[in-house]
Chains A and B, each alone.
Chain A
């Protein structure tokens, strides 16, 4: 929003100043494509981050994704060395050690004195004087606190999705995002489809009317089972849950947030709004640890008869696949690279670049995981402000609304979930025993029956 106003102001001033300058018109039209991206709320598609002042980043949450994100960050530049990871924070020492080792193997050592463990490690890291950027990649339960601290300590932020696990966290994220906007801190989130050139070009097609008026949508993330960890001797409750965070709702938000939020975000993006209501169901059939479901099916009601069917599942040997589908009055699209008419003929396809051998590639030249970091660095260095905090919070809240609908069996409205005081997890975050029971949610009310329990040999 801020960018648009600035741009308008700029154009206004340019028009005034350039009343007699013939070049002005040409200049503006030469920027047309770029402005067009802005107009549609699209990020720039970059070949690399522009050169500029060295940016020093700290990583909070040094697990697999965190380490990956940190590597993506340093890969965003064309001038090796001007993007640097200078410190780490993680609750576990072994995660820090592994991450440092990885960076040492690239000959990019991270000094040990800049690495902090424990639940308050992030505060110590953010207190480092010459830190410019923080990468937030812990389990999403902790994101709202980390984001707020980043804004207080005036850091530019890259944060992974999902951005919270409950409405209290979501409101914190939105508030912090607005605080960041007020003082010009850039925020990019890990919903990388929005930074993927093929998605961006498909979006442009749809916005220009390629499929007519949108009438329905579908989003799906059906995959094999995901990683889990069984409890090891010597681990207390908290350590176990955090090491197995992907399987506890209070830490992960369930996989409808963790992974499916990507698809939900694409639908919200293409439709230009969030749903008003969700009804859905889900259950747990194959999971081994934790308290989460392994499948969800949600009807997101966007109003005026427009629904998006959202499904996600993590079970082996099923019909699996991920993606989106949006149907309009004149055609349909997979949102990623192709537009069909209503008879199934391809009307448009994104042209992927060719590799060194001249073969057609299957994806964009620059991975979207790196592209998003290029965008962050571009924004910091050029002043073209970006803040994706609120949009990703709203997509995460959409997923929370769907999750709540499935867990409870009730219809959940946007207003209700936006104002909900749901605040998951123990009140105190510290290592040791946790006095809470994490039951798998059961929707609805139990059936009261007079039928006697089964005994051997009788069918009831």
Chain B
């Protein structure tokens, strides 16, 4: 009996198991089908556009070569913005999905800065290299140009990471201002001003602020006299969010100098470009041999160095450190004065304007910064800083005209922020620790890269502190230059560095 029962019981269990198994298979099958359908449905352009409430991205996509092309082939959202299947497609889809759900329910879409997302460093995070390669398998089509060939040779030979969108940033979303990598030989050819040009540079006999006039042009700019003095250069150990290369603090003395009120503007830089521009390296060299004292300037750039933001009084950008130096030589020649890039010590002294605080105005870097999860959720403080600095907290990812900000106590604008500025010093992270020169220090004797100061419109608040240091990154800033060898005049991949000039008083000027 017992045995029989047990037998019955087990047989029922077995049968149930079989049924459960069949049911399981069925459910799995349905889930698989519907899951597959769900994946397909949630990967359609329509579905993407149902949440992504930024119609211009839909419009710019329709205008781009990935939609509007001869072949009639449409490349869909997920074909670029997710990796190809088999390369972590589902995982990325889930991640992006969760992010999108969060953004949809917890973020104000009007406050999302879409312009910023178009920048290369951001675009890299949601455009997948593998997806580009998945479709574009032949990097050497027969129709490829010489420059294209050079660029793709460089891409395939490069040991450093370099993405397709380094050069092909706007192929998925059309941007009428993007003229990347077209050799712009007409750059700076037209002069629009009708006013009579200056015939004489400014005459300076006293150590006081003056307005420089570039002879032969209508361009002028203000130079502010900065009396010499001694200050604490660098940041103390207790300054919030500092980096170690800013210390130890040293008492440094600088002699008096003039420094430009604003960063060198496009108007100023174009005066130089028009006066000295050369057709190309070879022709440039011919000019120098014929006239020993002639300054041979920049070759025409590739694309639009002003990024389509406009020139005028916006700071000039994308010129190389070398070009900025040649600019100073040229300016010295046409004005008969001694212009040059500031030393790092002069720069910080001018930026501080007598203050010893993190900024030349009141405020705590910890409150201003937007880094960290809490800041991302609740936003950061912008009081004081937003009216004085062009930085990531108030900029639509581009340069601003000087009128955008208030000046510091010396009367200087945009020392921190807007564009980072070249200094004449080589950069060394431990220079403050090792150097013993305390009067007019000029940086290490040798080095590879130069100091840049002040941070830019891309920088977080912590990187626009008066003591914050940074340096040029020559290799990275030329990564997509299609020329071989690369330009010595223009950076192809750096859009937020410019410079400001200083003038050294000559012996005739009494301080």
The chain A residues found within 8 Å of chain B, CB to CB, are 151-152, 167, 171-172, 174-175, 178-179, 181-183, 418-421
Closest to A151 in B: B142
Is B150 part of the contact surface with A, judged by Cβ < 8 Å? Answer: yes
Question: Could you say which of A152, A171, A421 contacts B149, with CB atoms under 8 Å apart?
Answer: A171
Looking at the assembled complex, report how far the CB atom of A427 sits from the nearest CB atom of chain B, in whole angstroms: 9
Interface centre among A172, A179, A418 (most CB of B within 10 A): A179
Q: Chain B residues with Cβ under 8 A from A183's Cβ?
A: 142
The B411-443 residues at the A interface (CB cut-off 8 A) are: none
Q: Complex formed: what's the CA distance from A179 to B138 in Å?
A: 8
Q: Count the B residues whose beta carbon is within 8 Å of the partner chain — how many?
A: 17
Q: Chain B residues with Cβ under 8 A from A182's Cβ?
A: 138, 140-142
Q: Is the CB of A421 within 8 A of B141?
A: no
Q: Is the CB of B484 within 8 A of A178?
A: no
Given A182-B140, A418-B157, A420-B484: 8 more A-B contacts, CB < 8 Å: A167-B484, A172-B146, A178-B139, A178-B140, A179-B141, A418-B484, A420-B485, A421-B485
Interface centre among B141, B142, B157, B486 (most CB of A within 10 A): B142
Q: Chain A residues with Cβ under 8 A from B157's Cβ?
A: 418
Q: Complex formed: what's the CA distance from A172 to B152 in Å?
A: 12
Looking at the assembled complex, report how far the CB atom of A89 sits from the nearest CB atom of chain B, in whole angstroms: 21
Q: Complex formed: what's the CA distance from A152 to B141 in Å?
A: 10
A419-B484 in contact given A171-B153, A175-B153 (Cβ < 8 Å): yes
Q: Complex formed: what's the CA distance from A151 to B157 in Å?
A: 22
Q: Is the CB of A179 within 8 A of B485?
A: no
The chain B residues found within 8 Å of chain A, CB to CB, are 138-142, 144, 146, 149-150, 152-153, 157, 281, 483-486
B-side interface mostly: loop
Closest to B145 in A: A175
Q: Is the CB of A171 within 8 A of B144?
A: no
Closest to B150 in A: A171
Pick 13 A–B contacts, CB within 8 A, sort by A.
A167-B484, A171-B153, A171-B484, A175-B144, A175-B146, A175-B152, A178-B140, A179-B140, A182-B142, A420-B484, A420-B485, A421-B281, A421-B483
Looking at the assembled complex, report how far the CB atom of A150 sits from the nearest CB atom of chain B, in whole angstroms: 11
Looking at the assembled complex, report how far the CB atom of B454 sits from the nearest CB atom of chain A, in whole angstroms: 32
Q: Is the CB of B142 within 8 A of A179?
A: yes
Looking at the assembled complex, report how far the CB atom of A197 sits from the nearest CB atom of chain B, in whole angstroms: 33
Q: Is the CB of B484 within 8 A of A181?
A: no
Q: Is the CB of A175 within 8 A of B485?
A: no
Interface centre among B140, B146, B152 (most CB of A within 10 A): B140
Looking at the assembled complex, report how far the CB atom of B21 sits from the nearest CB atom of chain A, in whole angstroms: 30
Q: Complex formed: what's the CA distance from A183 to B142 in Å?
A: 8
Closest to B483 in A: A421
Q: Complex formed: what's the CA distance from A163 to B153 in Å?
A: 17
Closest to B142 in A: A179
Q: Complex formed: what's the CA distance from A175 to B146 in Å?
A: 8
Q: Chain B residues with Cβ under 8 A from A172's Cβ?
A: 146, 149
Q: Chain A residues with Cβ under 8 A from B150's Cβ?
A: 171, 175
The 6 closest A-B pairs by CB, nearest first: A175-B149, A178-B140, A419-B484, A179-B140, A182-B138, A419-B485
Q: Chain B residues with Cβ under 8 A from A174's Cβ?
A: 153
Q: Is the CB of A181 within 8 A of B142?
A: no
Question: Could you say which of A152, A167, A181, A420 contacts B140, with CB atoms under 8 Å apart?
Answer: A181
Closest to B485 in A: A419
Q: Is the CB of B146 within 8 A of A179?
A: no
Q: Complex formed: what's the CA distance from A179 to B153 in Å?
A: 12
Closest to B137 in A: A182
Q: Complex formed: what's the CA distance from A174 to B141 in Å?
A: 13
Looking at the assembled complex, report how far the CB atom of A152 sits from the nearest CB atom of chain B, in whole angstroms: 6
Q: Complex formed: what's the CA distance from A175 to B138 in Å?
A: 12
Q: Chain A residues with Cβ under 8 A from B142's Cβ?
A: 151-152, 179, 182-183
Looking at the assembled complex, report how far the CB atom of A428 sits from the nearest CB atom of chain B, in whole angstroms: 14
Looking at the assembled complex, report how far the CB atom of B378 sits from the nearest CB atom of chain A, in whole angstroms: 49
Q: Complex formed: what's the CA distance from A421 to B149 in Å?
A: 14
Q: Chain A residues with Cβ under 8 A from B144's Cβ?
A: 175, 179
Q: Chain A residues with Cβ under 8 A from B281's Cβ?
A: 421
Looking at the assembled complex, report how far the CB atom of B147 sits from the nearest CB atom of chain A, in whole angstroms: 10
Closest to A423 in B: B282
Q: Complex formed: what's the CA distance from A184 to B443 in Å?
A: 57
Q: Complex formed: what's the CA distance from A22 to B140 in Å?
A: 42
Closest to B152 in A: A175
Looking at the assembled complex, report how far the CB atom of B139 sits from the nearest CB atom of chain A, in whole angstroms: 7
Looking at the assembled complex, report how far the CB atom of A157 sits from the nearest CB atom of chain B, in whole angstroms: 13
Q: Chain B residues with Cβ under 8 A from A152's Cβ?
A: 142
Looking at the assembled complex, report how far the CB atom of A143 sits from the nearest CB atom of chain B, in whole angstroms: 15
Closest to B280 in A: A421
Q: Is the CB of B484 within 8 A of A175?
A: no
Q: Chain A residues with Cβ under 8 A from B140's Cβ?
A: 175, 178-179, 181-182
Q: Complex formed: what's the CA distance from A174 to B139 in Å?
A: 13
Q: Is the CB of A421 within 8 A of B484?
A: yes
Q: Chain B residues with Cβ under 8 A from A420's Cβ?
A: 484-485
Closest to A177 in B: B140
Q: Chain A residues with Cβ under 8 A from B484's Cβ?
A: 167, 171, 418-421
Looking at the assembled complex, report how far the CB atom of A171 sits from the nearest CB atom of chain B, in whole angstroms: 6
Q: Chain B residues with Cβ under 8 A from A418's Cβ?
A: 157, 484
Q: Chain B residues with Cβ under 8 A from A421's Cβ?
A: 281, 483-485
Q: Complex formed: what's the CA distance from A23 to B191 in Å?
A: 80
Q: Complex formed: what's the CA distance from A178 to B149 in Å?
A: 9
Q: Complex formed: what's the CA distance from A191 to B141 in Å?
A: 26
Q: Chain B residues with Cβ under 8 A from A175's Cβ?
A: 140, 144, 146, 149-150, 152-153
Q: Complex formed: what's the CA distance from A175 to B149 in Å?
A: 6
Closest to B139 in A: A178
Q: Complex formed: what's the CA distance from A113 to B74 in Å?
A: 48
Q: Chain A residues with Cβ under 8 A from B153's Cβ?
A: 171, 174-175
Q: Chain B residues with Cβ under 8 A from A178's Cβ?
A: 139-140
Q: Complex formed: what's the CA distance from A167 to B486 in Å?
A: 14
Closest to A419 in B: B484
Looking at the assembled complex, report how far the CB atom of A460 sits from the nearest CB atom of chain B, in whole angstroms: 33
Closest to A427 in B: B282
Looking at the assembled complex, report how far the CB atom of B492 sits from the nearest CB atom of chain A, in whole angstroms: 14
Q: Chain A residues with Cβ under 8 A from B149's Cβ?
A: 171-172, 175
Closest to A154 in B: B142
Q: Complex formed: what's the CA distance from A172 to B150 in Å?
A: 8
Q: Chain A residues with Cβ under 8 A from B141's Cβ?
A: 179, 182
Q: Complex formed: what's the CA distance from A182 to B150 in Å?
A: 17
Looking at the assembled complex, report how far the CB atom of B94 sits from the nearest CB atom of chain A, in whole angstroms: 32
